[in-house]
Structure 1
């Protein structure tokens, strides 16, 4: 019997077998389910790790295992395995939707997230450039303070496929290629994972010729509206301006699935506001929230 916000029995039956097993000598690990529930409690409440309730064991144990599995890529591997399972089930009933919606959201970074240790430069003992450090930790400074931008790609059902973190003052179009390259859907049969969606939906932030050429080379249809200044520039050039890009107004409203996905992810307060010092830890929390979805 699970309490509010914890893993249900059905969810544990799906996730439990994917968690690593201890082999060899040493003391047996504590129950993985209690650890995952402790991580979910922290994601849901946004509280510091030290305030973790005692029923989830010492906070050091929960955080150490959470951080270790993030470094080993366990959380991302579980995410990929669940995507593969959904792919197999949907292929069986013909529900695969290769229409991908891409968007980003800016999350405020708490003052506690700015305390990550800076690396030493290669020569001497000087610290690395502060701007490079902020970029590496996906922290950008603007009028509102430090922010982190979460780029997300979801399928036609609103389930996350890939996520990328950048500083909050980064343009959406610059991370589009990385978001697209992070999509790796395992095949229902043998073969390389699928990385190319059939269609991409995006807002005007992705209206650039570079993005349209990238999608054209990959054989992916684009449903992205143009900026007003781009349309005016094309009309001003006359015949040399070229034809306007294809835009299907009937398909574009389906892009709201990515907005709804952001709303569901931000129900986890540690996702809506960044408290983690390291960008990799913050992304691991987003991946775990995506697992729950």
Structure 2
């Protein structure tokens, strides 16, 4: 076993959730060798063509990662590992934190062909194709932003990709709506944490109204300008928002989750042209965190 490869324990947890056949009677090349190659590339950030020969043909590894990113296989594995952890009581629902991080895009990430998805007469585009490819210009240059929700055990529950210049507050609701941890015994998936923690960038009337409607307690500091505006309006401004310093100290959990994800060089720096492929790369990093927990 090489450095960074799946251990026997990790493989035993992952293998039951892998697809059994390649479709049309085809057979997959050994999953474990290929997945080790897929894990090697995000960890080191090297080009696909430079993968060591011990993993086999680089194109086989690249094509499987691209295919599983497009058809949702990586996400299904991600959800299956969450469901297993939830059944074993290893998900801390007492506090979920949200935050975002900016990933600098390499020059090779630019130049993807602009075309609308599923246009008649053209080849069907992947499910996660988006016209902006989650690339934008911000203070850091050409960037992609990952908006993330993390549970108390410092593992990701859901994430969204946007261009780097997009704000944080509008993405809180889409991220929380993506939290869907299946129940192995059947029934509706778990979607609601007991409490949410976020920094002042997420403080908005819309976000607080959404959290109250879903009966999610929240610890979000109120910026000074929002406090002044509420006080200026008097009784019409409503009551001050509740805030607990002791709970807010745990916001570092999501920051530590982001740090673990960006420990993979192909997550910290985006090399993938297509947003759905980069989404798969981030999902692979998240899967590895769940396997190691």
TM-score by length of 1: 0.90
3-state DSSP class of the match of 2:5?
A: coil
Q: Which residue of 1 aligns with 2:165?
A: 169
Change (3 A) 1:64 1:257: same
Q: What is the CA-CA distance between 1:106 and the residue it aligns to?
A: 0.6
8 A contact 1:187–1:193 mirrored in 2: yes
Q: Which residue of 2 aligns with 1:83?
A: 82
Change (3 A) 1:145 1:24: closer
8 A contact 1:135–1:167 mirrored in 2: no
8 A contact 1:135–1:166 mirrored in 2: no
Change (3 A) 1:136 1:220: same
Q: Does 1:99 align with 2:98?
A: no
Q: Does 1:226 align with 2:207?
A: no
Q: Does 1:196 align with 2:188?
A: no
Q: Does 1:5 align with 2:4?
A: yes
Change (3 A) 1:171 1:37: same
In the alignment, which of 268, 284, 289 is matched to residue 288 of structure 1? 284
Between the aligned partners of 2:161 and 2:221, the Cα distance in structure 1 is: 24
How many residues get paired? Answer: 280
Q: What is the CA-CA distance between 1:215 and the residue it aligns to?
A: 0.4
Q: Which residue of 2 aligns with 1:69?
A: 68
8 A contact 1:199–1:222 mirrored in 2: yes
Q: Does 1:157 align with 2:153?
A: yes
3-state DSSP class of the match of 1:153?
A: strand
1:49-68 paired onto structure 2 within 5 Å:
49-68=48-67
Change (3 A) 1:69 1:216: same
8 A contact 1:134–1:140 mirrored in 2: no
| RMSD of aligned Cα (Å) | 2.1
Q: What is the CA-CA distance between 1:24 and the residue it aligns to?
A: 7.8
Change (3 A) 1:32 1:235: same
8 A contact 1:134–1:167 mirrored in 2: no
3-state DSSP class of the match of 1:200?
A: strand
Structure 1, unpaired ranges of 5+: 124-132
Q: Which residue of 2 aligns with 1:274?
A: 270
Structure 2, unpaired ranges of 5+: 120-128
Q: Does 1:216 align with 2:215?
A: no
Q: Which residue of 2 aligns with 1:126?
A: none
Q: What is the CA-CA distance between 1:237 and the residue it aligns to?
A: 2.5
8 A contact 1:158–1:260 mirrored in 2: yes
Change (3 A) 1:107 1:65: same
3-state DSSP class of the match of 2:98?
A: strand
TM-score by length of 2: 0.90
